[in-house]
Copies of this chain bind each other. A is one copy, B any other.
Amino acid sequence: MKAVLFDAELKLANLPKPCFTGNESVIRLLKAGICNTDLEITRGYFGFKGVLGHEFVGVVEASKNTSLIGQRVVGEINSGCGHCEYCRKNLQRHCPDRTVLGILNRDGAFREYLTLPESNLHLVPDSVTDDEAVFVEPLAAACEILDQVEIEPDQRVAVLGDGKLGLLVTMVLNQSIRQLYLIGKHPEKMELARELGVETVEPGFIQKLSRSFDFVVEASGSPQGWNQALHLVKPRGTVVLKSTFHGQVAFNPAPIVVDEVTVIGSRCGRFEPALQLLRDKKVDPARLLQHSFPLGQALEAFELARQSGVLKVVLQSG
């Protein structure tokens, strides 16, 4: 079967189809999204070697749970040991012995067939299209913010960065926050936010917005994001750190103390709230779909995904 491998370089490979061994379910891929994390892996971060990809929708081909066979599913990407302090709290994504689909010790979704434990799978409602379902994983990461912090509807919230993650966060927060601002620089993405009724701010105005937001979600993926977020947040406010910028950032920690600011790192989220938003047609992430490529054209797909300003690039099986 076709697969997209990273092993010092990104390449197409012909791998054996995974067998059903009685444990993990085997899933036939329908669509899989290219995430910034995939791009970072191809730059050598994470040290991962294997099949990439962790955002997908597919059809169960084999499973211990026969009622799943033939069903369309999405899958949580972390698989824990099942008995550590994190797994016991249903926080498998922090299990020290976890595997992570296409990121850590587990081959990913950019292949015609993949495997995951049955407990990771979620049925996709019929009313949700494949193009929507492929966004469940990053949409769940956006929803994670509301599992971590309580935002009052009239508090001022800024989302820093108008990339894929920033826009998904904007869509999610726009459900409940009245004073929501997206700070970004790409005209067509800012227009999309305005169509949702969200205020947009150009980065040139950041200096003037010192200490003016109760919450700042840093989703810029840029080295400037950390200090910009600390500049924007009010005393006693909260910075939610979403983007995994890799590299050294220099800053002065004293203002965090003086202003008693809270910084919360935020990564993957539960799939249920994301599926609920899609089922209820509350968000339309498929608007972020830029282009689809067959698996066999993955190298071209990655080339497009790496370009600045490009939204979601999807690989499809067949």
Contacts and interface: CB of A to CB of B under 8 A. Distances in A.
Interface of A: 86, 91, 94, 96, 148, 211, 226, 235-236, 241-267
Given A94-B259, A248-B252, A257-B266, 14 more contacts: A86-B235, A94-B235, A148-B260, A243-B257, A245-B253, A246-B252, A247-B252, A248-B250, A250-B250, A255-B265, A257-B265, A258-B265, A262-B262, A263-B264
A251 B266 CA distance: 18
* Top 10 closest pairs, chain A to chain B, by CB: A256-B265, A94-B235, A263-B263, A257-B265, A244-B254, A260-B265, A248-B250, A250-B250, A244-B257, A261-B265
A258 B267 contact: yes
A260 B94 contact: yes
20 contacts: A91-B236, A96-B211, A96-B235, A241-B253, A243-B257, A244-B257, A244-B258, A245-B254, A246-B254, A247-B252, A248-B251, A249-B250, A249-B253, A256-B263, A256-B265, A258-B267, A260-B266, A261-B264, A261-B265, A263-B264
B263 A242 contact: no
A46 B102 CA distance: 49
B265 A259 contact: yes
A244 B265 CA distance: 22
A147 B185 CA distance: 40
Contacts of A265: 255-262
A86 B234 CA distance: 11
A242 B257 contact: yes
A72 to B, nearest CB: 30
A257 B275 CA distance: 23
Contacts of A267: 257-258, 260
Which of A94, A262, A265 has its CB near the most chain B CB atoms (within 10 A)? A265
Nearest to A254: B244
Which of A211, A247, A255, A263 has its CB near the most chain B CB atoms (within 10 A)? A263
Contacts of A91: 236
A226 B235 CA distance: 20
Contacts of A248: 250-252
Nearest to A264: B262
A266 B253 CA distance: 12
Nearest to A85: B234
A267 B236 CA distance: 11
B264 A260 contact: yes
A318 B243 CA distance: 58
A256 B235 contact: no
Contacts of A254: 244-246
A259 B91 CA distance: 11
